[in-house]
Amino acid sequence: MKKWLLLIAVSFFMPGIAFCSVGFSSLLDASDDARPLMLSIWYPSEADQLDVVGGNAVFRGEYAALDGPLVGRHPLIVISHGGLRSTNDSGAWLGAALAKAGFIAIEVNAPRPETPVVAVNEIWQRPRDVRRALSVILGNPVWAGHVDQKKVFVVGFALGGTAALSVAGAELDAGSYYQSCADAGPVGADCTWYASHNVALNQLDQHGFDKPRHDDRFASAVSIDPEYLEAFSQGSGPPLISTLLISLGSEERKTSNLPLVENDLIDKATSSDGFAVCTDRGPHILLEEEGDAALCGVSPEVRARTHTQIVNKILSFLAGSL
């Protein structure tokens, strides 16, 4: 039944193409010297020569044809992945899976904030990055002609999920956001980092925070385990476009602040399942570097199944939202 629904979703976006090979390319946008963006572009391709992209000692990469041929027009998804200190291509697993389903998937890679003082501005920088990435692709003569501009979406995970909600039109309440670390909750790890450097959330650039973050070029949004969820304003109303919130864990993270957002749940998952499948050495490396081996989850097989569930929910929602 689930496979049948997935095939319906895929065929909605790409009639005649259910699954295909994956191409990969990258594009640097250096229009802002202080914040260059590296865009990782995953797309359907018929190429056979594949290389591993986005892997490292801890996380597995994905197979793709480097600069493989792309033909036709496709729906587009802009991906904002990970928390404050995620590495480039942390969402390679998601970009590759969406490309196999017939999308052009753009993962936005911005410079990692080196200090907490800089990092507090990521709350408004990430949505701006998403909007800027879309403008870059639509303004690029090589890529623009391949995008179906009636089917443009944003998907985000963790802080990227917060960015996706912001781009969708949900508004953060400044006072509630400033209190987020005092309330702890799911942002505890970042809050500990801030506290260790005596940095408070209200030390952000207020001018940047006050700028609008909504972008009506996006038709729908998906937010996976977003951070600072309770800080979205009750008085601003729901997002302005169709939005899905996917919770990873034992209960849905429903909030009265966003009453019309569609909620879905992947139980027995954790927020770490938004990251790639780990290598065999991944957990050991994390322990050696005083990291958290739990970032690798229960097993590679369980994480891969969770990834499949996430992708299926995204495809089903996007197909039904148009």
The answer as to whether 102 is a domain residue is: yes
> Would residue 201 be called left, alpha or beta, if left means φ above 0 and alpha means ψ between -120 and 50 degrees?
alpha
User: Residue 282 — φ and ψ, nearest 5°?
Assistant: -50, -55
pLDDT at 185: 53
- Domain membership of residue 82 (yes or no) is yes
Other residues' Cβ atoms within 10 Å of the Cβ of residue 10 = 21
Tally of structural domains, the chain: 1
Residue 16 lies in a domain: no
What is the reported pLDDT for 297? 94
What is the domain range of residue 146? 2-10+21-321
Q: pLDDT tens digits, residue range 292-317?
A: 888 999 999 999 999 999 999 999 99
Looking at residue 231, the DSSP 8-state letter turns out to be G
Q: How confident is the model at residue 308, as a pLDDT?
A: 97
CATH number for the domain including 63?
A: 3.40.50.1820
pLDDT at residue number 18: 47
Collect contacts of 173-181 with beta carbons under 8 A, ≥24 apart: 173/231, 173/232, 173/233, 173/234, 173/235, 173/236, 174/202, 174/209, 176/230, 176/231, 176/232, 176/233, 177/123, 177/201, 177/228, 177/231, 178/202, 179/231, 180/228, 180/230, 180/231
Average pLDDT, 10 consecutive residues per value, the chain (322 residues) = 48 51 96 96 91 94 95 96 85 97 97 93 97 98 96 97 95 92 65 91 96 95 93 74 91 74 92 95 90 90 97 96 73
Please give the structure tokens belonging to residue 264. 């879905």
pTM: 0.92
Q: Give the pLDDT score at 2.
A: 47
59: in domain: yes
15 within domain boundaries: no
**Alpha-carbon distance 214 to 148, whole Å?**
20
Angle between helices 2-13 and 300-321 (to 10 degrees): 50
Q: Residue 169: inside a domain, yes or no?
A: yes
